Amino acid sequence: MSNIYNISKPIGILGIGSFGTVLANLIAERHSVIMYARKQSTVDNINIHKKHREIEILPNIAATTDLRFLAGHCDIIFPVLPSYAFRNVIKELSDFLTSNHILIHGAKGFDVKIDFTKGPVEIRPKDICTMSEVILEETPVHRVGCISGPNLAKEIAQRQPAGTVLASKFKEVLTIGTDILQCDRFQIYRSNDIKGIELAGVFKNYIAIAAGASAALGYGENVKALLITKGISEMIAIGKTLGVEPKSFLGLAGIGDLVATCSSPLSRNYSVGYRLAKGEKIEQIIATMTEAAEGINTVKVIKYLSDTMHIQAPLVGIIYKIMYEGFSLEQGIKLLMRLNAGQDVSFY
């Protein structure tokens, strides 16, 4: 392991959402931590009152509004940002980064290079970036990694056991990241397939929306199992189009995260589906959410990608109809059940 990485220095957290906050506390049990926030009021609340988002902040966590300060004091930084803000914030940070930094992100969304928000467009694989690809495009950093898995922030904040997948092409990123994150209640599993792990964390979001909607209407475990198993098959088909192999979708960051987010009201995407099924419009849900639900944009991106590339992805098509074309969930379930089922599953 290179001696330029000094984990006795503070560890940086870029982003102050629920997961970023609990990740900061987890790391702060053994390391000092510097968190970045845009608002001075948020920084003051963390530094003075030691509280953020109703979470008690450990004493050895400090906060700053200064990206130069963050990059200057931290060799290792964890960007935990919503995908819509990721590129712009990383661009701002880039001025203060060198090739000696390590960035390990915790985002579960796409960066799309064309405007897909105003209606159907053609989206091709070249138009989509994962967050690690954004880091490589926008910064001098080349040692990048990601963490992804069934990591519901509220459970981690309650000190419940959990695990995550740490992915990187660099052995030293895997070694250092494990040293920082692993403890007696947070298990780290390693992978070299960073793009596969990233995509697994993105794809499961839209299936969790369907699971939340199903639960709101009183459907039981049989329908949930159908959604999860057909969803994982669909994830693999889409992933192959984007150049990744099935194995990462079959592990903790794929099936594991899918089971957790399809089963828990703590999942933001599950909550979106639940509220949709109770009659709220997607615009109303977005306007009242305190944190981004990545699945809302993921549905559009995957729908337009699958249409453009002729991918068989009926589940995302049904969810899209429910969210944007006025279909009821009952209509969606009926459509799902009328599909020509064919082969059970094909992973290759």
Residue 125 parent element (H or E): none
Non-local (6+) Cβ contacts of 159 within 8 A are 185
In angstroms, rounded to a whole number, what is the distance separating the alpha carbons of residues 274 and 221?
15
Residue 38, SS3? coil
Active site residue 204: yes
For residue 156, give both structure tokens. 């981690």
**Cβ atoms of residues 249 and 133 within 8 Å:** no
E strands within the chain? 11-14, 33-36, 51-52, 55-56, 61-64, 76-79, 102-105, 111-112, 128-129, 143-148, 162-167, 186-191
Which residues are paired to 307 by β-bridges? none
For residue 187, give both structure tokens. 């298990």
Angle at 191 between CA 31 and CA 244, to 5 degrees: 135
Burial 266-281 (b: 16+ CB within 10 A, else e): ebbbbbbbbbbbeeee
Measured over the CA atoms of residue 223, residue 224, residue 230 and residue 234, the dihedral's sign is: positive
Please report where in the chains the tokens 């990059």 appear, as a residue: 71
**Cβ atoms of residues 78 and 104 within 8 Å:** yes
Axis crossing angle, helix 221-241 with helix 295-309, rounded to the nearest 10: 60
Active-site hit among 108, 204, 300, 303:
204
Sequence letter at residue 36: Y
Please report where in the chains the tokens 């959402």 appear, as a residue: 17
Catalytic residues: 204
